Amino acid sequence: MSIKAITQLIERLFEIHEQLYHLAVDKLEPIKKGDMKALEQIVREESKLAHKLQTTEMLRQKVVRTYLFEQGEAKEGATMTDVKRYATKEEAEKLELLQQQLLDYAQKLKQQNELNQDLIAESLRFVNLSLDLMVPHQEDVSYHPHEHEDRPIGNGRSIFDSKA
């Protein structure tokens, strides 16, 4: 394994994050308009990309482990710093740049997804409010044992006190 293989995988991760970000931005209009078909299609695309992202990340971890093992360092959960220790200056700079780009795009994606989530929550609140206004509320028909305590009954006599 080489630094080049790791670099290519990180570039691929960046591309997938970029595609996910664009889908998240594209999701904004269908959310605003309530276009469920378009939203469903975008979510399907996101699901495919999320699967690709997961498999690419697993492959990257495997390649990094193999690379570090070849360098004489067997380490689970290796970091980019571990890899850069064995890279040339140019390779380390490229890895640093890619790492920063990936982190930036992941942050942009997170912010866009939070915005979309807030819009969906707001839409749900609006729908619930609309339903509450349209559906008449029934009076509470459950038993309340203390409800009638304040009212005097008749002249204060019970039916058992009546004369025959």
Residue 44, classed as helix, strand or coil, is helix
pLDDT at 162: 57
Residue predicted with more confidence, 33 or 147: 33
pLDDT tier at 31, thresholds 50, 70, 90? confident
Max mean pLDDT range (100-109, 115-124, 128-137): 100-109
Name the band, by pLDDT with cuts 50, 70 and 90, for residue 139: low
pLDDT, residue 135, reads 75
Q: Residue 36: which residues within 8 A CB-CB, separation 6 or more? A: 30
Cα–Cα distance, 48 to 52 (Å, whole number): 6
Distance CA 45, CA 27 (A): 11
For residue 156, pLDDT beyond 70: no
Three-point CA angle 40, 45, 46, nearest 5°? 95
Q: What is the pLDDT of residue 38?
A: 92
Domain boundaries, the chain: 3-134
C-alpha 99 chain-centroid distance: 22
- Per-residue pLDDT at 14: 94
Which residue, chain included where needed, has tokens 């999320």? 50
DSSP states of the chain as a string?
Answer: --HHHHHHHHHHHHHHHHHHHHHHHHTHHHHHHT-HHHHHHHHHHHHHHHHHHHHHHHHHHHHHHHHHHHTT---SS--HHHHHTTS-HHHHHHHHHHHHHHHHHHHHHHHHHHHHHHHHHHHHHHHHHHHHHHSPPPPP-S--TTTTTTSPPTTS--GGG---
CATH class of 3-134: mainly alpha
